[in-house]
Amino acid sequence: MSLFNTELRRLRKRRFVRYLTLGGLLVLAAVAVGMFFTNQKVGPAQIAAAERAADREYQQNLGYMRQEQAACEQAKATGNADVGRFPPDCSSIQPPPREAFQTDWHLPATFEFREEFGSTLIALTAVLGLVAFVGGASFIGAEWSTGGMMNLLLWRPQRIRVLLTKLGALLSALSGLTVVTIGAWTAAFWATGTYRGSTEGMTSGAWQSFGLTGLRGLALVLIAGALGFGLASLGRHTALALGGVLGVMVVGQFGLGVVLGMARVKFVEAWLFPTYLLAWMQKKVTLQNWASCQATYNGECKPATFDITWQNSSILLSVALVLVLGGAIWSMRRRDVT
């Protein structure tokens, strides 16, 4: 049996990895089922009910304004007008126009596949990325902490080859899991759009856009798995990868955000790693600084903006991947057995 097939079998046999994967898939299934039952298709009956609800709201507001106008006139007549409550002219107390009470406010939640499916792919990638990172760290970390790696090197002493084969097996398994899950996810939300919403407007361009988002999600899942694998290999233990990421997210991100916010640094989110992950999935994130004003020709004040694109994110992710995996390979090579 080849080393690659052996590592794939070893990965599948790890109970922690199986339970972790099952837990992630159950979370995704719960989200898909919840979206199906919390949405409904909007038809003539729902629109008519929403129009009646909007009209009731308008009538209630109209009655309240008439009461206020009568109270204002009575207070003016008795000379006990409350300056803070009533205006000088009681006739100015008028309800908003009927058009202000929109029917859309009272429509039930409905799933528009073209408008909303892209955001669900981000949630899917987040869950699978977490599974990939923890699973990758556990896969190699357990080998080091239990001595399995050293036993393997007794009959296959090429350390770099063994390490990269394990990484290849991990990435292959993650690729298969992600592709199958994305396919099932798409089918589930297509059913939600068909029976509990709308699938109108789906063109070849829309499918291509979703396909590219899915490919970026696949790449992010693989990067997460490789980073978890590399960090655990560097520290020879799963805890280093998990503890390192926890420290970076809690201390490095939360603490850094608080400090930069207190220092009134512009575009604080540009220094936070999750912003770049979101930009990678959405292709672009536009940050706004409301502390500064860019006046327009009509006198409107608009906040200063700063764009973070997927190209910026790709540079950051590439650097992190090279440093972590390069460090893991270098650490193995120092003790290479020929």
pLDDT band at 253 (very low <50, low <70, confident <90, very high): low
Q: Pairing relation of β-strands 301-309 and 111-112? A: unpaired
User: Alpha helix locations (H) across 236-272?
Assistant: 238-247, 256-262
Would you state the structure tokens that stand for residue 171, as one six-digit string? 């990435």
Strands 197-198 and 111-112: parallel
The mean of the pLDDT values for the chain is 83
The continuous run of DSSP H or E covering 313 comes out as helix 310-334
Q: Strand, coil or helix: what is 291?
A: strand
128 CB-side CA count, 13 A: 29
Residue 283 has pLDDT above 80, yes or no: yes
The residue that leads in pLDDT, 238 or 99, is: 99
Window from 172-181, 265-274, 299-308 with minimum mean pLDDT: 299-308
pLDDT at 337 over 60: no
Binned at pLDDT 50, 70 and 90, residue 93 comes out as confident
The pTM assigned to this predicted structure is 0.82
Alpha-carbon distances, residue 296 vs 18, 293, 307 (angstroms): 57, 9, 20
- Per-residue pLDDT tens for 101-119? 887 787 788 899 999 999 9
Q: Using CA atoms of 314, 320, 325, 328 in order, give the dihedral in degrees to the nearest 10.
A: 180
Report how far apart, in Å, the C-alpha atoms of 173 and of each of 170, 180, 221, 226, 233 are. Answer: 5, 11, 11, 12, 18
pLDDT digits (tens, 9 = 90+) for 18-65: 999 999 999 999 999 999 999 988 878 878 888 888 888 888 888 888
CA distances from 9 to 166, 173, 177 (A): 11, 10, 15
Structure tokens that stand for 262 in this block? 């207190």
| DSSP string across 292-305 | EEEE-TTS-EEEEE
Mean pLDDT value across residues 157-172: 84
Residues 6+ apart with CB under 8 A from 145: 236, 237, 238
**Dihedral of the CA atoms 166, 169, 173, 179 (nearest 10)?**
120
Predicted local confidence at residue 338, as pLDDT = 43
Q: Are 202 and 114 in contact (CB under 8 A)?
A: yes
